[in-house]
Amino acid sequence: MRLELNQELDNNEQIRRWERAKIGVNTYKLTKEIRPCIGQLLVTPIEEGGRSKTGLYIAVELRKYDIPEEKITKVLNHWNLNNLPPMAYKEIRGILNQSDKKDTKGNYLYSPGCNNYLKDFCIGKDSCGYYLKNYKGKRSTEPNYLGMGWQYVLTSREREILFYVLPKIEKTRKLIKGSPIIINVRQLHFHTGISQRYFNEIFTNLKKYGLITYKPGSPQVWKHEATEIKRIVPAPEIPRRFKEAEAYKEFKQEMKVRLNGKTTTDNIPKTRSKKTAKIRKL
């Protein structure tokens, strides 16, 4: 997307980010199609802990425009000098190797898209050509919650709500995945079969995990305050602190031992003898 002034830049913060993006692109004499958020990263000192991720995002973005490997290396080395502290040269080489990896469809494996890490550098969705071209007005794909392992972290009720109920409501109402769902308590009970007193607990937990946004309404109809729920699409990765709760592995092993220890006779129901049955009748 070209770095041209847009009428949607209506506040000082947006304009400041836009100017920083132009400085980043002009400093390294790069194509003006570079995304504004990546342009800002080129002139932003990064502290330890986020340097590798930022460098990877920069490298992947430059590769998309067939910029020679030699120039990408020079850009990363120069950008790295401003980091706090700078990375070692072998880390830069590792970033370059990672950034060149592709999936089976030929897309770069570590392309960031629009994610939470870049939101602090966003100039606004309605002003960004990348977002308008790739996201706005397009239907998003259904999150692969099972493939990401969320079934091991959430409770059965939380899984039911997230995996089945919310997608069903979106489909019934013909909403794009991740659209806000305005719904009242009676409708929630109809779709879930769950008592009202559990709604707030379930949705609050899902909100804490970063899987939904949740604004509770009022059960009093006369207040006209409906509940607003919105799935986060694409779904976030499981944070490290939640991955530690993998007691399900021990549970599976214990169940295997129990099942293997059973004999065939254990599964056969015991029948009473005819003699015993007659005595009990008397």
40-49, 82-91, 130-139, 196-205: which range is least confident on average? 130-139
User: What would the two tokens of residue 186 be?
Assistant: 């009676």
Q: Give the Cα separation of 14 and 12 in Å (integer).
A: 6
Q: Give the Cα separation of 209 and 90 in Å (integer).
A: 35
pLDDT value at 223 more than 70? no
∠77-79-82 over CA atoms, to 5°? 110
Look at residue 52 in the predicted model and tell me its pLDDT.
92
Look at residue 282 in the predicted model and tell me its pLDDT.
43
Sorted by sequence, the CB contacts under 8 Å of residue 126 that are 6+ apart come out as: 8, 132
pLDDT value at 4 more than 50? no
pLDDT tens, position by position, 225-276? 678 888 988 888 876 666 555 554 555 566 567 667 654 444 444 444 544 4
pLDDT tens, position by position, 134-173? 666 555 678 888 888 888 888 888 888 899 889 888 888 7
Look at residue 156 in the predicted model and tell me its pLDDT.
87
With a threshold of 0.75, does the pTM exceed it?
A: no
pLDDT value at 6 more than 50? no
Nearest alpha carbon to residue 211 among 132, 135, 153? 153
The fraction of the chain above a pLDDT of 90, given in percent, is: 24
Look at residue 59 in the predicted model and tell me its pLDDT.
94
Domains and CATH numbers, the chain: 12-134 (no CATH), 145-241 (1.10.10)
Q: Give the Cα separation of 73 and 96 in Å (integer).
A: 8
pLDDT value at 105 more than 90? no
